[in-house]
Structure 1
């Protein structure tokens, strides 16, 4: 029940009497809020702060074990972060919710129908619930207006088929710092407007041809701090608008330039901290790096012995003796862009569906050279599944002006007095890319020449006007 301000036609004496009566009745605060033109909510969960315009319930950091009762059904924003909530069930929230933050709790189970019918929901933050581990396929179905979905640090080891089905307005998807080892084909197929995909800090080891199919609006793809050792030649074929690609701190030995040729909008690339082999297999990547005009990190050589410690970017053609020439650029691009739309049967060799529908990841056999752009290594004994990787990010290119997207997109908090400060942007706005020095100088000279032409034209016009005036 809400009380709203109204215009009072009372003289000073009557107003004074009413105020004194209200104080004596023990409702002075509420009455004073009404007189001051403020809105007050009588319905609010215990230990929470509620206010209107927009209708908000703030219940963070109170050690709640479950979603508190009494949340007004018309609440648009609900903040429940930093509690100890275990379960989310249907009926805990109403379909009027627009923003829902439940990060940093102890959620282990989400009833599949919890968010069904939430057609107004725009932001859902379930991040930092480390024991969630699994989600039902239809958990997010029907969230047609969802713009940002946070699932970072949730202990997820796999993503169900069609979990993101229908989320065509989603722009930000945070999946970093989980335990994902494999992404099924077309997992992101419906995310036509996704611009930011955060997958760093997982355990991914391969990127297949259709892993990122459908992501035609993707701007930033962060894949660093995984265990990626194999990338299909067409893994990035739909990412025509991709601006930023982070692949540093993986286990890549080689990467064909054909993979990167499918990224015409790429401006920032990070490949450092991989065990690169700088022999003939690196010739294609070396040629691509020579053509690239964006910002790149160092590409440190780990083999052969005479190349250890060198940067692939700094090598010369003479450093690749007896290497067969790579496919000409035009032919390579034609082959890269000639997509048949069919799925290579060998792509899913690493997926075995066992009893009960459980998915097991098995290392695939070595693909043919014509289908992949990285060379898989013998995996051997890997690290345990429960081992958390906290690798330090090394950004070798110190002059890079690209933003840092590795902080997980954390947010500010609601202040104790009930005022909610706005979140900081999940990603720092991109700074303008400065072209290489030669291009910059050419542009400056062109601008100067154009300015001189404008001045000369103006001077000629003035002279013509003065001559006409004198002749008259």
Structure 2
């Protein structure tokens, strides 16, 4: 059968081939329809190529030589944009204006970017992954993450950031992973991480931290992983970690710890910690140098006053009264935070279930931990498992290769599924209990089917 030109066009449209779209693809790029995808990676483009279809949902421009981004470079239908490993030095604050559908933006490994305007990402209400690693950033302007309520993954590692302003992350109520390692941070203040009520992993290793406020982690009730290794910490109050009721993995090695009386509250906290922690090697005083703080005895702190004890520090995490007061204190900070904190006691022995690490969630995860199991004493995780844990470095370039088209991110399930034991259906049990009845039923069904066929 031969098809005329008109019929052939209709045939192609009906079967989704949409030949006209190919003619709209930029030179040296590859385009795919449904959803409209444009791949222009590794072609030494010095600017955004012309001819990108207005309705493009996925644009891949990584590994080029692009230097600037301006308003109008992309269409508002964009969902995924990869621009990592370019030479971007300037981003017009209006570049992403009106991009209501944008979910993933990768600007990583643009080493000469160095500065961003406060409103660069304003209005990206659906953004759930933002990559800004290796961008030469020395500071973050106030309000740069304002309104990013859907953000779950924030990559800021390997920059030159020295200071984080109070409440810089306050709108990121759904953030799950925060990567800040490999910067030049030297202090963490009381409200540095305020608002991160669903944070699961906080990586702060390989900075220059010397001081951490005793309530710096007060909102991180769901944090399961905290890396503070390879910094310049000489002390860390036990009260600081007492807020982390769901913590499972803690890395404190590679710091010049002073194991004198100031270390007593940290020592007491580590004794009660049920998760996995690294060693905490003492650098001073001289008679304790080289020893692990965790193996010190009560006698090593006999000469210290009670004021250095964790149990002598007044903190809201030690009593129900103070916990209620703490929740009231937070209620006036932001109406978005109300009701999101977990009322979990300090001395629970089993960590709360961590949030599902899969990307795509749009709402804070529910606590699906059984009430019956929360107070059960669990076996401590062996130190070996912590030592075997490699320094966590996410694979930023774990991207799709274009032999297979990208697929949508898996969404996190936020609804708790009731766990019930699997039992054999009652009908099967009854049939198994009487073999002769089962044979008669089978024979009767066979005869009925045979009668229908013959008829």
TM over 0.5: yes
Check conservation: 1:80, 1:102, Cα contact below 8 A. yes
The question of 1:409 aligning with 2:396 is answered yes
CA separation of 1:128/1:422 partners in 2, compared to 1, >3 Å: closer, same or farther?
A: farther
Aligned residue number for residue 258 of structure 2: 277
Structure 1 unaligned regions, length at least 5: 1-11, 23-27, 343-395, 426-450, 452-464, 466-472
Change (3 A) 1:199 1:76: same
Report the CA distance between 1:305 and its aligned residue. 1.1
Structure 1 equivalent of residue 222 of structure 2 = 241
**CA spacing shift, 1:422–1:224, aligned 2, 3 Å:** farther
Gap change, CA 1:75 and 1:236, over 3 Å in 2: same
Matched position secondary structure for 1:290: helix
Query: CA separation in 2, counterparts of 1:194 and 1:209?
Result: 19
Partner of 2:33: 52
Say whether the 8 Å CA contact 1:176–1:408 is kept in structure 2. no
Contact 1:59 1:80 in 2 (8 A): yes
Residues in 1 aligned to 2:86 and 2:288: alpha-carbon distance in whole angstroms: 49
Choose which of 385, 393, 399 in structure 2 pairs with 1:399.
Answer: 385
- Aligned residue-pair number: 353
Q: 1:328 aligns with which of 311, 318, 339?
A: 311
Supply the distance in 1 between the matched residues of 2:384 and 2:270 (Cα, whole angstroms): 18
**RMSD of aligned residue pairs (Cα, Å):** 3.1
Q: Which residue of 1 aligns with 2:405?
A: 420
What TM-score results when the alignment is normalised by the length of structure 2?
0.72
Q: Could you say which residue in structure 2 is the equivalent of 1:84? A: 65
Alignment partner of 1:158 out of 139, 146, 150:
139
Q: Shift of the alpha carbon at 1:334?
A: 4.5
Q: Aligned pair in 2 of structure 1 residues 153, 422: CA closer, same or farther (>3 Å)?
A: farther
Whether the 8 Å contact between 1:85 and 1:107 is mirrored in structure 2 is yes
Describe how 1:183-332 pairs up with structure 2 within 5 A. Answer: 183-325=164-306, 326-328=309-311, 331-332=314-315
2:437 maps to: none
Q: Distance in 2 between matches of 1:143 and 1:311?
A: 47
Deviations 1:393-450 (A, max 9, x none): xxx95423767531353323533x5x4356999xxxxxxxxxxxxxxxxxxxxxxxxx
1:142 aligns with 2:127: no
Q: CA deviation at 1:321?
A: 3.1
Give how far 1:34 is off: 6.9
CA distance in 2, matches of 1:408, 1:94: 28
Pair 327,82 (structure 1): closer, same or farther in 2 beyond 3 Å: closer
Unmatched 5+ stretches in structure 2:
332-381, 411-420, 422-432, 434-455
1:173 is matched with 154
* Local SS of the residue matching 1:149: strand
Q: Are 1:74 and 1:97, in contact at CA under 8 Å, matched by a contact in 2?
A: yes
